[in-house]
Amino acid sequence: MSELHSFVVNEEEDGTRLDVFLQGVCDLSRSRLQRLIGDDAVRVDDVRQKSSYRVHLSERVDVDIPEAVPLLALAQDLPLSILHEDADVLVIDKAAGMTVHPAHGSPDGTLVNALLHHCHDLSGVNGVLRPGIVHRLDRETTGLLMVAKNDHAHRHLAAQLEARTVERRYLALLWGGVLEPGVVDAALDRNRKDRLKMAVVTRGGRRAVTRVQPLEEMAGFLTWVEFRLETGRTHQIRVHAEHMGHPVFGDPVYSGRTWVNGIEPELRPAAQILLKSLKRQALHAATLGFVHPRTEETVRFVSELPTDLAQTVAAARALPRQ
């Protein structure tokens, strides 16, 4: 059995690669979509195209998504912090160091492995290695994730993400002084020199929008900031923060551990001490709000800062302001 989905290309999506376009509308992984394209399960105006094909305004893209095959990920008894659970949805408070789903380099020990041990009724929309996963957090980012326990809930939540109605607020320490609130509207795509990284691009890519609200300056070289996501691209906050010239403190990929070399020499010793105390990026998914797929009521969850980040923030506040 399979299910046919149809999408029409809008002005914003005109010129986007076929696989990237589908990733934005289907909420499936890019690798799975590329397999579907290769298996002749995708047609553009009834014509088979390659993943690299650039879609055009008003074209209709049909995707024949096969029924998910039996799960391959193993159930594992791993620590799992659950803030909410009912017949349709779980809300997880993810710890640092936990990858969301199995992938190359992390075949087990993931959130999915823990979920499979905890419950057996997860949605199959996203395939055998991502059961229940509606959205993701990076391995070293902490905080709130919603998980779907059935396909109806998954599609309902995914539609809210696509419509940008899910409330997702993050707290982060950024390098430098972020003085004014603002919006970063900058498309993202894979970094051409390093495919494991993302980058801001001026052509192609996928639109990414992040709202920035500075909350507190600390120690003369840090700012405590709230981010609100309107889109949810891979590494979005981390790349946008670097693009702003204020990388996420401690981020090993996007300048968050090397930016210290650019601050005033007299501030570097204190900054180095803080860097040594925090082994990851200072980024936490603190608030998550959405419409429940069964009750249609708006629900909202808040996650307290994890110990390592709370200690780093407290230490930064205790430093004298320069």
pLDDT value of residue 71: 47
Q: Do domains 2-66 and 68-163 have the same CATH topology?
A: no
Give the class (CATH, top level) of 2-66: alpha beta
Asked whether residue 283 carries a pLDDT value surpassing 70, the answer given is: yes
Query: Is the domain defined by 168-285+308-316 classed in CATH 3.30.70.100?
Result: no
Least confident of 50-54, 104-108, 144-148, 269-273: 104-108
| Dihedral of the alpha carbons of 309, 313, 319, 320, in degrees to the nearest 10 | 160
Instruction: Kindly state the average pLDDT of the residues 263-289.
Output: 96
**pLDDT tens, residue by residue, 40-84:** 889 999 999 999 999 999 999 999 887 654 446 788 999 999 999
Q: Which residues are catalytic?
A: 138
Percent of the chain with pLDDT over 90: 71
Which positions ≥6 away from 119 have C-beta within 8 Å? 85, 90, 149
Distance CA 79, CA 248 (A): 27
Q: What is the pLDDT of residues 216-248, one digit of tens each?
A: 999 999 999 999 999 999 999 999 999 999 999
Q: How far apart are the first and last CA of the chain?
A: 65
**pLDDT score for 121:** 80
Q: What pLDDT, on the 0 to 100 scale, is given for residue 72?
A: 65
What value does the mean pLDDT of the chain take? 91
Q: What are phi and psi of 102, to 5 degrees?
A: -60, 145
Q: Cβ distance 207 to 249 under 8 Å?
A: no
Pairing of strands 283-291, 142-148: parallel
Dihedral of alpha carbons 198, 53, 62, 56, sign: positive
Q: What is the mean pLDDT of residues 266-274?
A: 95
Cβ neighbours of residue 7 closer than 8 Å, sequence gap 6 or more: 21, 22, 25, 26, 60, 61, 63
Q: How far is Cα 268 from Cα 272, in angstroms, rounded to an integer? A: 6
List the domain boundaries for the chain: 2-66, 68-163, 168-285+308-316
No. of helices (H) and no. of strands (E), the chain: 7, 14
pLDDT band for position 31 (cuts 50, 70, 90)? confident
* pLDDT tens-digit series, residues 198-223: 999 998 889 999 999 999 999 999 99
Fold of 68-163: Pseudouridine synthase (3.30.2350)
Q: What is the pTM of this model?
A: 0.78
Q: What is the pLDDT of residues 120-152, one digit of tens each?
A: 788 876 666 678 889 999 999 999 999 999 999
By mean pLDDT, which of 18-32, 91-105, 280-294 is the weakest?
A: 18-32
